[in-house]
Structure 1
Amino acid sequence: MKLSEVTLSHHYADLGDAFGTPIEPTPFRHPRLIDTNPAVLSLLGIDPEEATNPAWAQLGSGARLFKGSRPFAMKYAGHQFGVYNPDLGDGRALLLGEIEQAGRRWELHLKGAGLTPYSRFGDGRAVLRSTLREYLAGEALSGLGIRSTRALCIVGSDEPVTRERIEQGAMLIRVAESHVRFGHFEYLFYTKQLQALQQLIGEICRRFVADSEGLSAGGQAEALLRFTTRRSAELVAGWQAEGFAHGVLNTDNMSIIGDTFDYGPYAFLDDYDPAYICNHSDHTGRYAFAQQPGVVLWNLNALAHALSGVVEVDTLRDCLEQFQPMVTDAYAARMRAKLGLATEEESDHKLCAALLQLLQHSGTDYALFFRTLSRYRGERPASALRERIPPAQHSELAQWLEHYDSRLARENSDAGRRSPAMLETNPKYILRNYLAQKVIEAAEKGDYHPLRTLRRLLQSPFEEHPQHEAWAIAPPESAKRIPLSCSS
């Protein structure tokens, strides 16, 4: 499909006035295309040759609309740091419409598009720094097999935007199958719009929840909660296994279909630290890395409360009780794969826990250790692994390896088959904050080559890419805890 042939539909905006407000974007005066994502072009069925079409600068800045587009600011609410806030919504973003491709419907969402009725005290803009971080994060998690929103393109400008400092403005077109958040349901519940709430439940069920057709309103709401609980459990298990900290898991930042959503002060772990807090505004550690499964469950409870007008409390409770076993099972499966274990044993959780304790005690780089372990063949001394661990923990490493060797022996594991499988599970390239900062600093000077290089690496993070070894090394000590804020 050529870019000129893209035509958008509007299933969400057509739901009615209860769900938001039609409004036109406020375009940049002199937009410039920074990057277009070939992988997302393919996802949408757009010809890859269109990546360099100069029209992207206009489309990605709101200066020109796709055929059929009717921009729409979505209204929602949410719990932020545990406190309900009714005054939320698309304060700087607009739902442009939807593309249908190969039986799937993809929503296009223009972020940084200017003031809306829900901007509150904001300016409706986004800055280049945060836009680049969101663009890269979607590719990083997608490359690791974790569901995420993605972005089609980034457009920059010279227009100043004030945050902690004056920065360059930017926009991106975010792509997801749905932009509906937990907070959409909370808004309709707390404002007593029961008919609209049931309408939204029905819309999501029709699109995503198998076998929900013909169910009563209560049956659909129960099916939706079970669906979202399962998808959220799978999502957070992936985050924990791959060392991803979201940073601001408010209910308005939780996707009803279980995508990673609304990237702000996120981070991938460098040294393994379960207490790691990536958001410098999170003074209590509510959203610390190890707290994420519990916070997701808290958010699911908030969603369940929003459905309590149509579902019995006992049924809601039964739905939520499935969450922890689902997280445990999904996390265990991912960790067995990272350890190269083809079968399941009851004691595997102890083997995994002992390794994580070792990594925590030693302050060892999480991703690099697992990548190195992927090439382990039972040799003694395990020189490559010992180089990852400080000498003070070498005896602890040796003890763990004895248990690991015994576990591999029980399933007659062959290193010749195990190692390639682990190398396709444990990434060489992750989106470290110091790498993102390198890209940001170059882009602010007009150099977009580092951005495109890192994007490609994150889209195939398990491949060697020997010409790009410098992108795979651990950060210097001074770059391990770059302060991150929600401002964008």
Structure 2
Amino acid sequence: MRAEPQPSEYRPEPAIAPLAPWLADPVRPADFPETRLRFRNDRWAAAVGLETLDDAAWIRHFGRFDPLPGNLPEPLALRYHGHQFRHYNPDIGDGRGFLFAQMRDGAGRLLDLGTKGSGQTPWSRDGDGRLTLKGAVREILATEMLEALGVNTSKTFSVIETGESLWRGDEPSPTRSAVLVRLSHGHVRIGTFQRLMVLEERDNLETLVNYCLDTFPGPPPPHDAPGADEPAVQLMHQVVERLAELAATWMVAGFVHGVLNTDNMNISGESFDYGPWRWLPRWDPGFTAAYFDHSGLYAFGRQPEALLWNCSQMAVALRPLAEAKPLIFALDRFGPLYEEALARQFCWRLGIVHPGAERARNLVSAAERHMRETGQGPDAFFFAHRGGRNRPDGELGEMLQALTPAAGALDHPLWSAPAAPDLVIEEVERIWSEIADKDDWQALADKISAIRSLGAALGGPGN
């Protein structure tokens, strides 16, 4: 679930440095012709003690990438492999980004500052290492909305326009460029483990497991789990738990990530790397976000399946360190954990007291049927029936009547508005057109404000 930012002093801790010789390549950032600050996330900058930077210092660190005090002396482009649309690719890694810094936040978590669009690396292949400004704006919107909807997501920390003209085949070109910095709870991917397994670097694989257990602590495996005292098995259980939760929160948010390759799966369970994402205009399990996903592999309704498949690849990568039986035991937990998280998140967003497992499952099924039959999208559905209000005729209405509203479910003024904020593609394009056509950033600022109001109205998950 999402973590609220808690103020902190700046506490650098480049814990990944001892792993860097076999995990990453030192790189130099691009030298951009311009650095125009377009977005800074002071809400989360306060959580890592960086909100006091003035704009000039901010640009030096996040546009020119002068090292932060006591942090990594040079950026690191991480190495990994990955299944891309189920085809294994050993020739990938950070191709237009790098790890820039690590620090503790107010909750004591070790967080990374990583980039997107910061220039070429040894893993760029034929790419220019750049990011379009539109891509950066889209990532701001995606991360803000997902955070508001209770999804564990990276945070867009900074966007700086860089003054280059980029050519892209999937949007009008030339187009404006930017460099983005994201704040994440780690950048270790399933593909990171796959690479070490394929290269038979068993000692490094073991070291990475221990690093992840230290960096992303989680609960122990169930008492009846075989191999529960083995570090690789412990990590496998944590990854399954986190990705089952992530899949459930995406589904209740009505969010379609679009590209669920194993190199896009953070083992901390944090959603990140936003490319062709979409929000559902209506409840449609077959809805796809990526125009190149011709088979619908990563369609909305197949996202849980995709994350389970990715977990299975994590299990394969850990086989040099653990027997198959305890890893399979962990994988078998995905389905029940997903169903449990789906019901819990659904009740939270609907603003009702969880009625118990069976009734919650029936409620979710009835709501999905209602949305399919009426063409109503999830944003409109959850807003209309928040706290069990506006009960429709039929099965769903009867269920809502029997449910108990959560304390304060309708107290926030937003629930008296005509509608809740949404982020369907037409709204995204409207906001971008204001920037592209008139260099007017007010629509984006207004949307961020509305989305954060939605997050405040929903309250913390489980509340």
Q: Secondary structure at the match of 2:233?
A: helix
Sort the Cα spacing of 1:211 and 1:253 in 2 relative to 1 into closer, same or farther, 3 A.
closer
What are structure 2's unaligned runs of at least 5 residues? 1-8, 221-226, 458-463
**2:387 matched to 1:344?**
no
Whether the 8 Å contact between 2:11 and 2:48 is mirrored in structure 1 is no
| Letter paired with 1:373 | H
Partner of 2:190: 182
Match among 120, 138, 141 for residue 143 of structure 2: 138
1:277-324 deviations in Å (ceiling 9; x for gaps): 111110000000000000100000011100011111111110000000
Match of 1:116 in 2: 121
Answer whether contact 2:388 2:400 (CA < 8 A) is retained. Answer: no
Q: Which residue of structure 2 aligns with residue 58 of structure 1?
A: 60
Judged with a 3 Å threshold, the aligned counterparts in structure 2 of structure 1 residues 287 and 422 are, in CA distance, closer, same or farther, namely farther
Q: CA deviation at 1:88?
A: 0.8
State the TM-score, normalized to the length of structure 1: 0.83
Deviation for aligned residue 1:246: 0.6
- Per the alignment, residue 162 of structure 2 pairs with 157
Amino acid at match of 1:58: R
Structure 2 residue 198 is matched with structure 1 residue 198: no
Q: Pick closer, same or farther for the CA change 1:442–1:220 going to 2, 3 Å.
A: same
- Give 3-state SS (helix, strand or coil) of 1:16's partner: helix
Rounded Cα–Cα distance in structure 1 between residues aligned with 2:355 and 2:203? 49
**Equivalent residue, structure 2, for 1:258:** 269
Q: Is the 8 A contact 1:35 1:452 kept in 2?
A: no
Q: How far off its partner does 1:16 sit?
A: 3.5
Partner of 2:380: 368
Q: Does 1:452 align with 2:445?
A: yes
Deviation at 1:100, TM superposition (A): 2.5
Q: Percent of counterpart pairs with the same letter?
A: 31
Match of 1:428 among 396, 404, 420: 420
1:138-157, CA deviations, whole angstroms, 9 ceiling, x for partnerless residues? Answer: 22111222101112110002
Residue of structure 2 aligned with 1:273, choices 284, 305, 328: 284
Q: Give me the whole-angstrom Cα distance separating, in 1, the residues matched to 2:385 and 2:369.
A: 16
Alpha-carbon distance in 1 for matches of 2:38, 2:48:
20
Q: CA deviation at 1:63?
A: 5.3
The corresponding residue for 1:19 is: 23
1:240 & 1:94 partners in 2: Cα distance?
Answer: 30
Amino acid at match of 2:268: I
Q: 1:122 to 1:317 in 2, by over 3 A?
A: same
2: CA distance, partners of 1:130 / 1:232: 25
Is residue 407 of structure 1 aligned with residue 402 of structure 2?
Answer: yes
After TM superposition, the structure 1 stretch with the greater mean CA deviation from structure 2, 64-73 or 354-363, is 64-73
Q: CA deviation at 1:355?
A: 2.3
Q: Tell which deviates more after alignment, 286-295 or 53-62.
A: 53-62
Which structure has the bigger radius of gyration?
1
Maintained 8 Å contact 1:27/1:63: no
1:334 Cα offset (Å): 1.8
1:398 aligns with 2:393: yes
Over 3 Å counting, the alpha-carbon distance change for 1:238 and 1:60 in structure 2 is: same
Gaps of 5+ in 1: 386-396, 465-488
Tell me the amino acid that sits aligned with residue 360 of structure 2: D
Query: Retained in 1: the 8 A contact 2:244–2:338?
Result: yes
Q: How does 1:31-180 map to 2 (within 5 A)?
A: 31-47=35-51, 50=53, 53-62=55-64, 64-67=66-69, 68=71, 69-102=73-106, 103-164=108-169, 165-180=173-188
SS in 1 for 2:102: strand
| Greater mean deviation of Cα atoms: 314-323 or 350-359 | 350-359
- Asked whether the 8 Å contact 1:423–1:462 carries over to 2, the reply is no
In 1, Cα distance between equivalents of 2:407 and 2:56: 49
Q: 2:14 matched to which residue of 1?
A: 10
Distance 2:116 2:252 in 1: 29
Q: CA offsets, 1:314-349, max 9 Å, x none?
A: 111100000000000110112233442442162432
Shift of residue 375 of structure 1?
A: 6.2
Instruction: Decide which moves more: 100-109 or 258-267.
Output: 100-109
Q: Separation in 1 of the partners of 2:321 and 2:396?
A: 53
Per-residue CA deviations over 1:205-256 (Å, capped at 9, x if unaligned) read: 11223578xxx99811100010111011111111111111111100000010
Q: TM (normalized to structure 2)?
A: 0.87
**Would you say the 8 A contact 1:428–1:463 is kept in 2?**
no
Q: What is residue 223 of structure 2 aligned with on the other side?
A: none
Deviation at 1:7, TM superposition (A): 7.4
Q: What root-mean-square deviation, in Å, do the aligned CA atoms of Structure 1 and Structure 2 show?
A: 2.7
Cα pair distance change 1:188/1:345, threshold 3 Å: closer
Query: Counterparts in 2 of 1:290-309, with a 5 A limit?
Result: 290-309=301-320
- Per the alignment, residue 483 of structure 1 pairs with none
Match of 2:224 in 1: none
CA distance in 2 between partners of 1:423 and 1:337 (Å): 16
Q: What's the secondary structure of 1:461's corresponding residue?
A: helix
* 1:441 and 2:433 aligned: yes
What one-letter code is carried by the residue in structure 2 that aligns with 1:121? D
Aligned residues: 434
1:457 CA drift (Å):
2.1
Match of 1:388 in 2: none
Superposition misfits of 4+ residues, deviation over 6 angstroms = 421-424
